[in-house]
Structure 1
């Protein structure tokens, strides 16, 4: 699969995205809203110009990526956050994740984004290797300082 096989999702595909995100969350036993609620939220998100959802595959998507873009004082363009990247488990290791990531990076460059951030659980060694293989760092360039993400549920 190549990045050419990845398309921008439309609001009409919000339900498909909701199902894929629900599958992703339940695969890792994470708390998740229902498929319907996720689909409703995706419909609202896809109406925005600072959110991009990508789908791999045809009518029955094999994976998706979700990007948000926000203003930052560090660049003239936005800062991109790869919120989600998921490939169905039975189809992993076939280049689908790479195709989604490459298309996401292309979309960010099209929007003149300054950089892309990705949060990965420390124990998710496969995801960490995947992103590192594609040039992402979790150490500040020129140092040996690890970058960390902190959060607080509100």
Structure 2
């Protein structure tokens, strides 16, 4: 597996992987209309292209033999300042892997990159949002020193999802 920064030409592949990953894990939770609108807004090729070009974001790809296996997005700003404990807080926005490649160390490689990048940026805390029912992801994040700091929510169309804000102080 190789890691490399996303380029503008990667937007379509990232949008596709984002849609497939989200639908595989969470698609059953939403009405067809809410899901379609959310995916069109949050995982469109145009939105991904803007994120890749945004100097406040870092987007890293995991690939093997030219195949996209996963990606991670970091926002170099604090997502939830009301819950910040550090002075320079960044947000881990998404860490997605191809649904067919889960359990192959892709998430670990991307998480290691995210923590290293956060430190290199001078961050002293990383925040992320995780669905309250996603126990597998919560265990994954806990292995990297993240813990719950607040109850928050996430809207997908008209549906309000109960989420946990996880964070890790960097030392």
Q: TM-score range by the shorter chain?
A: 0.7 to 0.9
Please say if 1:56 is aligned against 2:62: yes
**Greater fraction strand:** 2
Q: How does 1:132-143 map onto structure 2 within 5 Å?
A: 132-139=142-149
Structure 2 stretches of 5 or more lacking a match?
158-171
Runs of 4+ in 1 over 3 A off after TM superposition: 71-74, 150-154
> How big is the shift at 1:85?
0.9
Contact 2:7-2:52 at 8 Å conserved across structures: yes
**Closer, same or farther: CA 34–60 of 1 in aligned 2, 3 Å:** farther
Please say if 1:69 is aligned against 2:69: no
Task: State the Cα RMSD in Å.
Answer: 2.4
**Aligned match of 1:83:** 93
**Aligned match of 1:47:** 53
Contact 2:21-2:99 at 8 Å conserved across structures: no
> How big is the shift at 1:33?
2.7
> How big is the shift at 1:94?
1.2
> How big is the shift at 1:61?
0.7
Please say if 1:108 is aligned against 2:118: yes
Say how many residue pairs are matched.
141
**Closer, same or farther: CA 136–61 of 1 in aligned 2, 3 Å:** same
